[in-house]
Each structure stands twice: as C-alpha cells, then as structure tokens.
Amino acid sequence: MTHDVIDDRTLVARAAGGSEQAFRALYRAYARPVYWVAFGLVADATDAEDVVQETFVVAWKKIPSLRLEGDSLLPWLATVCRLQAQNRLRARRRHSSHATLDHEIPAVVDVEAQVVQAQTVAAILAAVDRLSELDREIFRLCAAEGYGYEAAAAKLGVSHGTVRNRLSRIRSRVRATAMETETP
C-alpha cells in the first residue's frame, strides 16, 4: 500500500463499496472538524461527541447512495451534523426542565460558511497538534475545557505565569491560523 494521499471521491467510492478501511480514513479526516461544527451547534462537549458519532452512523448508512458534489465530503457531513444536532437539541428539550430555544440552530444554514468554519477549525487543530505537549495540554484545559490559569497550572504542575504566557502565545498562533484560512 502506498502512502499517497487518497482524495475524498476515491475514499467515498471505496466506502460505498463496503470498505471499512476507506470509511475509517474519512472518519479520521473529518471527525474533529465535524466535532467543532457540532459543538458550535449544541454547546456541550458530550452532546457534540454524540452528534459526531450519530453523523458518522448516518454517513455509513447513506454513503452507498451518496453522489459526492465537489471534492470534499465535509459539506455533506456538515449538513448531516446540523440535522443530528437539531435532533439532539429536540431530545434535550424533551428531557430537560429548561427549554432550549429554537433559534439555537437556524432554519436556513449557509453550508459554505459552515465548510469554511470547519476548514478553519481543522487548520487550528492542526496548528495545535504541532505545539509541544505542555502547550497542547494548556490549550485543551484553558480553551476547550474552560479551566482558569490557576486551575490549569495546578493540574499541570507549572506556574500561573507559565500558563498565562504560553496561552497568550498559543492564542496568537491560533488567531493567525484562523485569519489565514478565512481570507480568500
């Protein structure tokens, strides 16, 4: 097997033919961007993880009949993700004493904007992956899990200043990455 990059059309065709390996490659390529789209819609990490899983279950079932428009599977996955997020919010509303407002997910979605957002998130995650292990943990704790500087410092065994300074540099890199992907 070669280590060449295989395009989405080829992977979709192989997955449609029953190749679990091709589907796993699509999952690895798009699970994180789909997660961030889901998280943006449901605003809860656990629900977002569930939405990602539900999105890929739907994808596995529907991929044999999928006719891929364009070169990327991401726009289609973003649409499936949006529908699964709506289902999740409805279920949350049914099982919760505090109602979730219908305006949380718009009735009309700009798929192109979602794809750009997902691509930006993918670029940001790739930039985060290139950080040192300590910087990745600082980013995860402070940016993704909402830890304060002191709590993150205590958890990681470093000083408050280390977390503050490193997080400042990380945010600058992330902002630069986001700006690069969003400019035409």
- Gyration radius of the chain's alpha carbons: 18
- The CATH code that applies to domain 1-107 is 1.10.1740.10
Q: For the domain made up of 131-184, give the CATH fold.
A: Arc Repressor Mutant, subunit A (1.10.10)
Going from N- to C-terminal start, the domains of the chain cover 1-107, 131-184
Identify the burial level of 50 via C-beta atoms within 10 angstroms of its C-beta, where 0-12 means exposed, 13-18 middle and 19 or more buried.
Answer: middle
* Per-residue pLDDT tens digits of the chain, which is 184 residues long: 333 457 888 999 999 999 999 999 999 988 988 998 888 888 888 889 999 999 999 999 999 988 887 778 888 898 899 899 988 888 877 776 444 454 455 555 566 666 666 677 777 777 777 888 898 888 878 776 677 888 889 999 999 999 999 988 887 887 777 677 655 5
- Predicted local confidence at residue 100, as pLDDT: 45
